[in-house]
Amino acid sequence: MELNGRQTRIIAIVRQSAPITGEQIAEKLNLTRATLRPDLAILTMAGFLEARPRVGYFYTGQTLSSLFSEQIQKMKVRDYLSFPAVVKDSSSAYDAVCDMFREDVGSLFVVNGKGLLSGVLSRKDLLRTAIGSQDMNQVPVSVIMSRMPNITYCRNDDSVIAVAELIIDKQVDAVPVVRDKDDGLEVIGRMTKTNITSAFVKLAKGTVR
């Protein structure tokens, strides 16, 4: 069974405030009792809620965690990714710093002459170069980036939670979203700690599609 965002919110409200009447739930959601009636009927029939006459709704407590993990697994990268900030591997470290400010990102994805993923450049990679003796205008990005095949990436149909695990395991801030090309990987987006955080805020608000 799949619950919609409103039904998930109703469960959360009942869980927090049981026993609670249909009228009170409607008030919290700024909806009319009549609008909520079908949702309450579904949730009661499915066993998520128990309705006691003249008392109100109770949460049965059986299935929310399985429901929750089902909801989380359904959240896919394609619905939460951002536009990628990309730099050519021949660009200078100085230009990369400018791009990072202009694009307001913490990591740049580096592409080769064919536009395919060749590396990742983070803030610290640039800071390390800045405190070294090299001239930032002379050092190409390709020399200071982390490079393929050691790049952690994901795809559109990966789950958001799988990417969150990758970010934790690999201790990175951002992961490029890629799609296969004949001779490499095309960068089509980015997933960062911010994307993951906003996905979980949506989940908590019950606005996950």
192 near ligand ADP, judged by CB under 6 A: no
Listed residue (168, 172, 2) closest to 74, CA to CA = 2
Nearest distance, CB of residue 119 and ligand ADP, angstroms: 7
Q: Which is nearer to ligand ADP, 15 or 123 (CB)?
A: 123
C-alpha torsion 186→188→194→198, nearest 10: -140
Tell me the window of 4-12, 97-105, 155-163, 173-181 that interacts with ligand ADP (CB under 6 A).
Answer: 173-181
Q: Please tell me the chain's helix, strand, coil percentages from 3-state DSSP, rounded to the nearest 5.
A: 45, 25, 30
125 near ligand ADP, judged by CB under 6 A: yes
24 near ligand ADP, judged by CB under 6 A: no
174 near ligand ADP, judged by CB under 6 A: yes
Q: Which residues touch 92 (CB under 8 Å, ≥6 apart)?
A: 136, 137, 138, 139, 140, 141
Alpha-carbon Rg for the chain in angstroms: 24
172 near ligand ADP, judged by CB under 6 A: yes
Nearest distance, CB of residue 74 and ligand ADP, angstroms: 24
Task: Compute φ and ψ for 88, nearest 5 degrees.
Answer: -80, 145
Residue numbers at the binding site for ligand ADP (CB under 6 A): 106-107, 120, 122-125, 146, 150-152, 171-175
